[in-house]
Amino acid sequence: MPILSVATTKPAATTADSLIVTITPGRGKKVTVHGEGLTPAQTSKIADALQSVGASGKSGEITSIPAPTGIKATTVIGVGLGDRSKDAGGEQLRRAIGSAVRGSTGKKKLAIVPPDTEPATLRDVAIAARLGAYAFTAFKSDAPASSKPVSSVVVVVPAPAGEAKAIIERAETVGEAVSFTRDLVNTPPNALAPADLAQAAKDSVKGLPVTVKVWDEKALERDGCGGILGVGKGSSRPPRLVRMTYAPRGASAHIALVGKGITFDTGGISIKPAANMDEMKADMSGAAAVIGAMRAIASLGLPIKVTGWVPTAENMPSGTAQRPGDVLTTYSGKTVEVLNTDAEGRLVLADALGMAVEENPDLIVDVATLTGAQRIALGSRTAGVMANNDDARSQVIDAADAAGEAMWPMPLPEDLRPSLDSATADIANIGDRLGGMLSAGVFLQEFVPADQPWVHIDIAGPAYNEKAPYGYTPKGGTGSAVRTFVELAENFTRD
């Protein structure tokens, strides 16, 4: 059942548990209530009631009041937008709407009056509402109704609803795919082995024109995927490689998306410390983002060929695990000396990138929770974007900006390459610790021909929110990069 819908009823006449309106600081102590379809009398009554309980209209403020007479909803929620002239990208609006919807657990139906009817405003309101209506309760045996996210959000617009309807449908599709990705990331690691992730990839595109091929451990052996096999060796649950192909008739461009799918990263023999190791269940966030993006892009029917690659393994220490010092032969034939088994993401990506380049796509983008160094450099909310091609990197950054995801360009300095030299093999899997995000990128670059446009996104921080929820972002899996990929695919079809 879709969560979002459109209504052209008058806001005051719309039935809902809560009517959400946006407010900004007005003159003196007044707040200004925005939104078309409310009469001046209704606006003034709502403003008075909100002010009387201390609402100021500042950004992110949420104020709930019993609905004044004449308003059909049970309560009215005033959402502060602050100074809208400072909200060029719309993130302030998205966060405000997102936290109002996220905070409305236990309610069945919300109605939102957007602050205005500009398409960009409707897009922001719709996606934020859809992303805010999320909670992960699959493993709670008796989740109370009061903890369930809202199941219906009606966006109230003036008639005719034509364009608004298309905007809301896109937000529903993209938001649903982000939820799918979040669920995969949040699923405990005992319930999500590599084979389960491969199955989830198949399930994600059921009924959509996407073909899915899965390599099991024998097929990986046959095809020479030594990186994926090496990482998977320590686990009793064998690795997989998944390829998802969406090739609509008439598509002229082709992009490949490659996502790191480590279902659990203990570090292997180079084992991680115990503190917060549970968060390494999220080490398949890149894979989950690729799967979610394939689901969204195919559902939207975008006129572009997209191939999704998911190399997936569980990185465990055991008597069969790979050792520091082992040398692997990757798909491309390049040999890698494994100096640290905890630098495993780049090993599985090496094989998948090697395969992806054989299809000669116009662009390859990989996405991975690749390095702790990413979080040191950019913090927990901003992804690092590296590339062998400045235009391609800008394309990804522009898509992220438009989608409202924080991503920042980072270099791939040539001077880091010698730090990856191995005495025994063609390359070692660890390089300079300083700039560790960059040396990981420099490693990956070795598996992509120089003339193949390629972008690498490190989402080690943004993929998983270990702190309190904020705006439309829940605790746990965030669905990072899905919206950027959809935007990227759309932009490609416009060029």
Catalytically active residues are: 272, 346
Single out the residue of 124, 217, 314, 342 in contact with Mn ion (rule: CB under 5 A).
342
The H or E element containing residue 423 is: none
- 319-342 in b/e form (b: 16+ CB < 10 A) is eebbeeebbbbbbbebebbbbebb
CB of 264 to Zn ion, least distance (A): 9
Of 161-169, 253-261, 338-346, 411-419, which part binds Mn ion (CB under 5 A)? 338-346
With contacts defined by CB under 5 A, how many residues of the chain interact with Mn ion?
A: 3
125 binds, among ligand BES, Mn ion, Zn ion, none (CB under 5 to 8 A by kind): none
Closer of 322 and 395 to ligand BES (Cβ): 322
Binding mask 327-346 for Zn ion (x = CB under 5 A): ------------------x-
The H or E element containing residue 174 is: helix 162-186
Q: Does 37 bind Zn ion (CB under 5 A)?
A: no
Q: What are phi and psi of 116, to 5 degrees?
A: -155, 180
- What would the two tokens of residue 384 be? 């690092």
Q: How far apart are CA 311 and CA 366, in angstroms?
A: 11
Closer of 124 and 265 to Mn ion (Cβ): 265
Q: How far apart are CA 320 and CA 314, in angstroms?
A: 13
User: What is the DSSP code (8-state) at residue 216?
Assistant: -
Of 21-29, 45-53, 347-355, 369-377, which part binds ligand BES (CB under 6 A)? 369-377
Single out the residue of 183, 265, 314, 487 in contact with Zn ion (rule: CB under 5 A).
265
Q: Does 326 bind ligand BES (CB under 6 A)?
A: no
Closer of 282 and 455 to ligand BES (Cβ): 282
Closer of 337 and 344 to Mn ion (Cβ): 344
Of 98-106, 343-351, 392-400, 441-449, which part binds ligand BES (CB under 6 A)? 343-351
Single out the residue of 306, 373, 400, 428 in contact with ligand BES (rule: CB under 6 A).
373
Residue 304: strand, helix, or coil: coil
Closer of 183 and 342 to Mn ion (Cβ): 342
Q: How far apart are CA 138 and CA 187, in angstroms?
A: 8
The H or E element containing residue 409 is: strand 407-409
**Amino acid present at 189:** P
For residue 477, the cross-strand partners are 464
Closer of 343 and 367 to ligand BES (Cβ): 343
Q: Does 371 bind ligand BES (CB under 6 A)?
A: yes
Instruction: Please name the residues in contact with 274: beta carbons below 8 A apart, sequence gap of 6 or more.
Output: none
Q: How far apart are CA 84 and CA 92, in angstroms?
A: 8
- Window 70 to 99, contacts with ligand BES (CB under 6 A): none
Q: How far apart are CA 62 and CA 381, in angstroms?
A: 23
CB of 186 to Mn ion, least distance (A): 20
Binding site for ligand BES (CB under 6 A): 265, 283, 340, 342-345, 369-373, 430, 436, 460
